Amino acid sequence: MAKVVTRPQRFTPEEWKLASKVKHKNTERDRATAERLILECDRLDQEGRGTVDRTLADVNKKLDQRLDHIKNWKGELEVKRSELAKEIDATESYLVRIEKRLQSLQDNLHITQTTLANREKRYDIDLVHDDVQKDLIMEISAIQGAIALLSRTIEQTKEQLR
């Protein structure tokens, strides 16, 4: 069922003054609470700003330190890169020298083998197995050993360069 709306009752001036005082006290209490809340918010704001400023300063300091470290590392890497480039150039020069020595040894081997072959073509009494022939055979063996050693050295140098 529907309720009947009744008019509010009338108050006496004393009741009105009392209600007004209660509202005034409640308003004052609310205002004081609001002021305390504003002061607390301001304090927290200042505290937060201080924390942010300290954190920002710390982060900036750490970033500057990190940047200095990176610059130092970059400098060290550039020095190492320069040293490595010099070493590579020296190794390439060394490789060219070894290849020239190998070619020279192969030429010497060819000459020694030709000399030995010419000695083998001699006839009858001139076909002698003397000290010179022994030395030629030893020289061929030594040259072949040196050629093998230089060939291995060339391969190792190429692998090192790679």
pLDDT at 72 over 90: yes
In this prediction, residue 76 has a pLDDT band, given cuts at 50, 70 and 90, of very high
Query: Exposure pattern of 121-158 as b/e (b: 16+ CB <10 Å)?
Result: eeeeeeeeeeeeeeebeebbeebeeebeebeeeeeebe
Cα dihedral sign, 108-114-118-120: positive
Domain boundaries, the chain: 17-161
Q: If you search the block for the tokens 């470290």, which residue do you land on? A: 69
Distances (CA, A) of 142 to 49, 89, 92, 104, 146: 85, 31, 26, 14, 6
Phi first, then psi, for residue 69 (nearest 5°) are -60, -45
73, two tokens = 């590392």
In this prediction, residue 111 has a pLDDT band, given cuts at 50, 70 and 90, of very high
pLDDT value at residue 124: 79
Query: What single letter denotes the amino acid at residue 100?
Result: K
> Which residue in 63, 151, 59, 65 sits closest to 105, CA to CA?
151
- Number of Cβ within 10 Å of residue 105's Cβ equals 19
Q: Residue 133 and residue 147: Cα distance in Å, rounded?
A: 21
Residues across the chain: 162
Q: What is the pTM for the complete model shown?
A: 0.57
In this prediction, residue 74 has a pLDDT band, given cuts at 50, 70 and 90, of very high
Of the listed ranges 2-6, 35-39, 59-63, the least confidently predicted one is 2-6
Q: Residue 51 and residue 53: Cα distance in Å, rounded?
A: 5
